[in-house]
Structure formats: C-alpha cells, structure tokens
Structure 1
Amino acid sequence: MSFFKRLDAKRFRPTDLVSGAWNVREQHVAPALGLLAHAIELDHAVRRDSILTMARVSYDILGTLPIDEFEIDVSVIRPGRTIELVEARLSHAARAIVIARAWLLQTPDTSAISGTPVLAIPTPETLALWKPETLWRGGFVRSIEVRRSLLGVGRAVSWIRSEVPLVAGESVSPTARALGIIDIANGLAAREDVNEIAFPNIDLTVHFIRKLRGLWLGLDTTVSFGPSGIGLTHSIVHDQDGPIGVVSQSLTIRH
C-alpha cells in the first residue's frame, strides 16, 4: 500500500496510512509535504532540459487536511537558467491547505572546498528501536521505522525510514521520499505529555547542502517551548554519509 493514489494530473486520493497523530480523522501532514515536493520535481523535469536541485523548501500549513481527495497546482514564481523559485499549492474543496515554496539551484562541482563542522551522529544500528505508536496515534506513525536515543527533555537523536511508496506506481526521488517523513521530527522528543499538551507545527522549512543518499534519515533534534505559547523544533539532518541540512518547525502550544 502507498500513502497516495493519483487520480489525474492534479488530483490525489490518500490511503489509511496517512491518518494523523493528533486526530486520526485527519491526514498527518508529513506524506503530503513529500507529495508537494514530488509535484515540484515532476513539473520541473517537464519544463527543463537542465535540471536544478532543491536547496530549500518551506511549507506553510494553513489548516488541517481531511482524509479525502485533494489537488495540487504548481507554478513558477521566479524562472531562471541557474535559479528558480517554484510554488506548489495543495487544496481541498477549493481551499488552500498547504503552500510550498522551493528554491532550485544549479549544482556546479564544489567538492574541492566542501566541508562542515557539524559532527556525525551515531549510526542507525547502534540505536534502540522505538515504536512511535506507543506515544502517537494514526496510521502514519506505524508506517515509519524509528531508531532513537532520548538524550533528555526535548532532546533526541533518531534515524527514520519508511518502505511505503509515496504514490502508487510512481518513481519518487530520495528528496521527495525524505520530505514525506521528515515532519515526524516534531514527535521524536516531546517535552510534555501529548495527551495533555498539543504542539502542532504550523510550518516546516528544510535547507539542504547536498542530495540525500540512502533510505535512512538521521535527525539530531532539539525541542524548545517559549513562555507564551510558541515553540520550535529544530533538527540537524543527516544521512549515513554525514550531515545534509537542517529542518525547523514553528509550534503552536495548546493546553
């Protein structure tokens, strides 16, 4: 089973595997974020002979998404030979639910000067298996394999992966596949009892320094709650070859 089935060029139907952690009658937004990235990449490949690489993608989550058919529209905001800014809108019943904007950049060879001071994290096989369904509800969390080391309140190092196809019968890039599960970062190091305190993210932004390699996605996660109802989940993102970027999520904290 996949997360989504394509109905036509723009419309998709979710499966039960997308049911959400806060409300099982709604979609967990994670797979939809990956689907938006997939739509951007497909549109890009059709329009261009020279393919640019996704360096940053930012999602604004405008509301909850029911487990129902929806559509995605893609448009180019800033065209260019070496840089593009592309927008994808996910809508349900003519209402925008998620807006994604992605910067796509050329990729000249800079391997001679590449490097980062960010340290590697422990490998997946060294961390204990953690079942997110012991804390969270819904079909999505049950579709993710998680290996985690809980380092303290609001601190965890984790590796995540999923063998569930994003879209039935379609080839999906490692980037889109990773973006389809990365939103789970907000649930890997909960600061409070999730049955007492809600802290859904209203956005998600990822910056990459290179393309992901392999199935495993590593997350070195810190969760912070401010004193007036606003929080932040921030993770350094890794694959098994080292750091590849960062992801941040703004939280609205609710009693």
Structure 2
Amino acid sequence: MRETTGHPSAYFERVADDRLVPTVHAGGAWSDDEQHFSPVGGLLVHEIDRHRAREGRPALPMGRVSFDILGRIGFEEFEVEVETVRPGRTIELVQATMLIGGRSVVTARAWFLATLDTEAVAVVDAGQLPGPESAEPWPLSSVWSGGYIASLDTRRVGQARPGRGTVWASSRVDLVAGERAGATASFVALVDTANGIAVRQDPAEWMFPNLDLTIHLFRQPEGEWTGLDTTVTFGGSGQGLTSTVLHDVRGPVGSAQQILTVRPQPATVPAR
C-alpha cells in the first residue's frame, strides 16, 4: 500500500496513469481514515473527461452523472477504470469505477448530449441566488471535521434551519496535482457538500451518510463557485433524502439528489 501524502494544493496525486493517492485535503467528515466523497466525485468526472479526450470523442456537454457508493472509501491508493458504454456523435454514455485493493467502491455513469440552439424556448423557473460576495462567511468546520471540509470557503445565504440551508462553496485546492480540471469536474467536486449544510440532527448523535449522488444539468456550470440550495428530509423508517438546486454565479444550472441511510450513532443506542 502506498503511503498517502500531504500535497498543499491538490486533493489527489497521480502515481500512474490510472492510479492516484489522496492528500490530507481529501479527508472524510465521518471518519479520519476515509476519503470524503465530494472530491472523489469531481475526480471521476475528470477521469471521464481524460478518457474521452484520449479517445478523440466529440466535445459534448454532460447532462447527467450518477454515482453509486458501493462501500467504504478508504484513505489509501486507488485505481480508476473508465470505459465508453454507449459511444455516439450526439449522445454518449461513459462509466468510471474507483477500485481500492481490487474492490469497486464507487461507480459513476455520465451521459453526454449534443449542443443545440434552444434559446428561443429556454425557461428557468428557479430564481437566482444572491452572489457569494454578498453572502455571510460560514466555516463548515463549525459542524464537521476532516481535511476536505477544512479546504472549503463556504458562505451562507440567508438564515439556516434544520433541514434547510443555502450555501456558496468554493475551493482553491486543485483536483489532481499538476493537472487542470474542467469547469464541470471542479463544480461536481463540491456538490456532495450539500448533505452537510442543512443537517436535521447533530452528526455526533445521528449518522446520515448518502449512498448515491445524481446530478442533472440543463446548463454547463461556469466559474469558481458552486451554489447549493438544499432541503434535507428524514423519513420514519431509516431513509432520508437530500435535494439541491444547483447554481453558479449566473443562476441555476440543474439539481442533485442524495439518498441517505439514517441511523443513530452507536454510542447513542440504548443498552439492552
């Protein structure tokens, strides 16, 4: 097992074409020995972009990416495998898989769609958020720990309440050391943060990790800020849902959904 490093300006370092190691900035919020999923999600989009560029695929915008978290994402070296599932000139599906020790821990499937001029019928019902420059600085480290959380610049829009919050998030940390990631990959790298900005219960007493993340985009995001207008719902049988309208500084760009497994922290379970 390769020892992870503490590169000051990236979440990951590449040690081979398809192998990477996390840095201290990728540390998880639920456990110190896990990677936070948010930068992993951005990295898998980055690896899909690299794969498509190497294959000479047409420059199509991404319309949807869905992630399934299959197991614990240990804080150690990992491999990424990418394949084109459904090639095409106007619609394409690409899959990326993250493996640790030969075991699949995350899969990502991204749909790419052709660009057409539909400005004449374009309608967006969601309103635009106040910009990050007018939002109140709010360190997410007041709620969560971990290297990834510490790497963020987060600014809260309006007043938060349990299960409801709106935040702008940005990071000066690159995805991969020495590599330039695309705007969409960098944007996606911050989306999983949504599950932590509108907590319904104290995470010291309750766990609510997400098992997936699905992002739909009707416009490609631009700029360095990811806007997260988030609602968290807990059901009565151990399931929850985090729903987010996604913004860049120009306005809404799409939505994200995360299914949650809700359960008490082990220390709070009453003894029998």
The two structures have a TM-score, normalised by structure 1, of 0.98
Partner of residue 180, structure 1 = 189
Percent identity of equivalent pairs: 45
Partner of residue 27, structure 2 = 19
User: Higher mean Cα deviation, 150-159 or 7-16?
Assistant: 150-159
Q: How does 1:136-175 map to 2 (within 5 A)?
A: 136-148=144-156, 149-175=158-184
Partner of residue 208, structure 1 = 217
CA distance in 2, matches of 1:251, 1:47: 36
Partner of residue 242, structure 1 = 251
How far 1:117 sits from its partner (Å)?
Answer: 1.0
- 1:197 maps onto 2:202 in alignment: no
How far 1:188 sits from its partner (Å)?
Answer: 0.2
CA distance in 2, matches of 1:112, 1:45: 31
Q: 3-state DSSP class of the match of 2:207?
A: coil
- 1:253 maps onto 2:262 in alignment: yes
Which of 123, 132, 151 matches 2:131? 123
Partner of residue 5, structure 1 = 13
Q: How does 1:216-227 map to 2 (within 5 A)?
A: 216-227=225-236
How far 1:49 sits from its partner (Å)?
Answer: 5.0
User: Higher mean Cα deviation, 117-126 or 83-92?
Assistant: 117-126
Partner of residue 94, structure 1 = 102
CA distance in 1, matches of 2:79, 2:206: 32
Partner of residue 231, structure 1 = 240
Which of 93, 101, 106 matches 2:114? 106
CA distance in 2, matches of 1:9, 1:18: 20
- 1:60 maps onto 2:60 in alignment: no
CA distance in 1, matches of 2:241, 2:130: 24
User: Higher mean Cα deviation, 110-119 or 79-88?
Assistant: 110-119
CA distance in 2, matches of 1:117, 1:189: 23
The runs of at least 4 aligned residues of structure 1 exceeding 6 Å deviation read none
How far 1:115 sits from its partner (Å)?
Answer: 2.0
CA distance in 2, matches of 1:151, 1:131: 13
2:227 maps to a residue whose letter is G
Partner of residue 85, structure 2 = 77
Q: 3-state DSSP class of the match of 1:3?
A: strand
How far 1:65 sits from its partner (Å)?
Answer: 1.2
1:37 maps to a residue whose letter is V
* Aligned-CA RMSD value: 1.0
CA distance in 2, matches of 1:66, 1:151: 32
CA distance in 1, matches of 2:208, 2:159: 19
2:90 maps to a residue whose letter is T
How far 1:112 sits from its partner (Å)?
Answer: 2.5
What do the CA deviations read for 1:164-207 (whole angstroms, capped 9, x no partner)?
A: 00000001001101111211100000000110000000000000
Unaligned runs of 5+ in 1: none
Q: 3-state DSSP class of the match of 1:33?
A: helix
Unaligned runs of 5+ in 2: 1-8, 265-272
CA distance in 2, matches of 1:42, 1:83: 18
CA distance in 1, matches of 2:26, 2:170: 15
How far 1:67 sits from its partner (Å)?
Answer: 1.2
What do the CA deviations read for 1:14-44 (whole angstroms, capped 9, x no partner)?
A: 1011111000111111111111000111111
CA distance in 1, matches of 2:196, 2:76: 24
2:260 maps to a residue whose letter is L
1:160 maps to a residue whose letter is A
Contact 1:150/1:189 (8 A) holds in 2: no
Q: 3-state DSSP class of the match of 2:41?
A: helix
How far 1:95 sits from its partner (Å)?
Answer: 0.2
